[in-house]
Amino acid sequence: MKRILKETVYTPDSELLSFGELLRSMGRDLLASRELAWRLLVRNINAQYRQSFLGYFWAFIPPLFTTVIWIFLNSQKILDVGDTGMPYPLFVLTGTVLWQTFADALESPLKIVSESKSMLAKINFPREALILTSIGQVVFNFAIRLVLLIGAFAWYSVEPSPTILLVPLGILSMILLGTMVGLLLTPIGILYQDVGKAIAIGTQAWFFLTPVIYPMPQASWAQTLVGLNPVTPLLQTTREWLITGHATQLYGFIWISAASMVLLFCGWVLYRIAMPHLIARMSA
C-alpha cells in the first residue's frame, strides 16, 4: 500500500498570504511540540543546578534577598510606604514573587531562542516548542517561589481569602502578558543585541512603576503613571485575591488579560514568519 506523502512547498511568498494554511500549520506544530517542549523543559531544569553545590537553594535567593532589603528600608523608616493593609514583609514578598514571575516571562523567550540558535539553524523542529518551554520554565520557577509564599503565610498566620482559587488565573495572566511582550521583542532582539540590554534595564524601571513594594499611590500623577502600567491591575488583583479577597481593579484585569491574549497570538505569528530570516542571519 502506498502512503500519501506530505508535500511541503517553499517559496519566497509571505506566509501571511495563505493565512488559513498558516493557521493550520501553527495549530499542528503547537500540538506536535508539546512533547518536545516537555523534554526541553526537563533538560533545562535538570541541567540548571546540576553543576552547583547548593542546587535549588539558588532559586529562593533573589526574592528573599529583595524582600529583606525592602523590609529593612521600611523598618528603618528610610523609605516609608504607608499602610499596606497586611504585614509589610508579606506584602513585599507576594509582590516580589508575582513581579519576578512577570519579569521572568518577559525575559525568557528571547533568552531561550538565543540559547537555541545552533539547534534552530540546523534542525527543522516545531518552533513553538521553544515558547512552550519558556512558559514552562517560568511556571516552574514560580512553583519554587510558591514554597516561600506558603512559608510566609504560615509564619504570619494569615488566612488566605477564598478567592485564592482565582490566583492561578492571575498568575497565568501575568505570564501571558510577560510572554507576549517578550515574544514580540524576540525577532528584533535576535537581530540586535540592544534589545536584550534594553529589556534588562527597562524591567528595572518597570519594577518601580509597579506597586510591588508600595501600595497603589494616592497622589495624582504617580497614580496616573502607575495606573497606565498594564502590570498594575494584574499584580494588584492577584495579590488582592490572595490576601484581602476584594479586587479593586477587576475591570482592568479583564481587559488587559484579553488584550494580552490577542497580542500574544500576533507575537506568535510574527515569531513564526520572522524565523527563516533570523536563521539566515544566525551563525551556524
Partner 1 sequence: MSEEVLVKAEGVSKRFCRSLKRSLWYGVQDIGNELIGRKGDQGTLRKNEFWAVNNITFELKRGQCLGLIGPNGAGKSTLLKMLNGLIKPDQGHITMRGRVGALIELGAGFNPILTARENIYVNGSILGFSKKEIDHKFDAILDFAELEEFVDTPVQNFSSGMKVRLGFSIAAQMEPDILIIDEVLAVGDVGFVAKCFGFISQLLPTCAVIFVSHSMPNISRICSRVLVIDGGRAVYAGADVSKGIETFFSRFQLSGHTTTYSSSKAMVKRVEIEGAGQGETLVLKYGDDFKLHVFCFVDAEIHEFSMNLLIFDQSQNGIIFASSYYAEDKLINRSEHNHIVVDLGKVCLKSGIYSIDISITDRNMIDLLAQVKGIAQFQVNSTFTGYAPVQLQGVWKNISDRAN
Q: At what angle do helices 231-242 and 167-191 cross, to 10 degrees?
A: 150
Question: Angle at the Cα of 181 (from 217 to 272), degrees rounded to 5?
Answer: 170
Residue (10 or 221) nearer to partner 1, CB: 10
Q: Are 143 and 129 in contact (CB under 8 A)?
A: no
Residue (58 or 192) nearer to partner 1, CB: 192
Residues of this chain that bind partner 1 (CB under 8 A): 5-17, 32, 35-36, 39-40, 43, 46-47, 50-51, 116, 118-125, 187-188, 191-192, 270, 273-274, 276-281, 284
- Least Cβ distance, residue 15 to partner 1 (angstroms): 7
Q: Is the dihedral of CA 162, 163, 166, 167 positive or negative?
A: negative
Q: What is the dihedral of CA 142, 72, 202, 49, to 10 degrees?
A: -40
- Least Cβ distance, residue 207 to partner 1 (angstroms): 29
Collect contacts of 275-282 with beta carbons under 8 A, ≥24 apart.
275/120, 275/127, 275/187, 278/120, 278/187, 278/190, 278/191, 279/120, 279/121, 281/190, 281/191, 282/117, 282/120, 282/121, 282/190
For the record, the C-alpha cell of 78 comes out as 528610610
- Least Cβ distance, residue 180 to partner 1 (angstroms): 17
For the record, the C-alpha cell of 270 comes out as 510574527
Cα 110 to Cα 131: distance, rounded to the nearest angstrom: 10
- Least Cβ distance, residue 33 to partner 1 (angstroms): 9
Residue (20 or 162) nearer to partner 1, CB: 20
- Least Cβ distance, residue 203 to partner 1 (angstroms): 23
Residue (82 or 276) nearer to partner 1, CB: 276
Residue (21 or 35) nearer to partner 1, CB: 35
- Report the half-sphere exposure of 188 (CA within 13 A, side-chain side): 10
Q: SS3 for 138?
A: helix
Residue (14 or 76) nearer to partner 1, CB: 14
- Least Cβ distance, residue 258 to partner 1 (angstroms): 23
Residue (8 or 218) nearer to partner 1, CB: 8
- Least Cβ distance, residue 177 to partner 1 (angstroms): 22
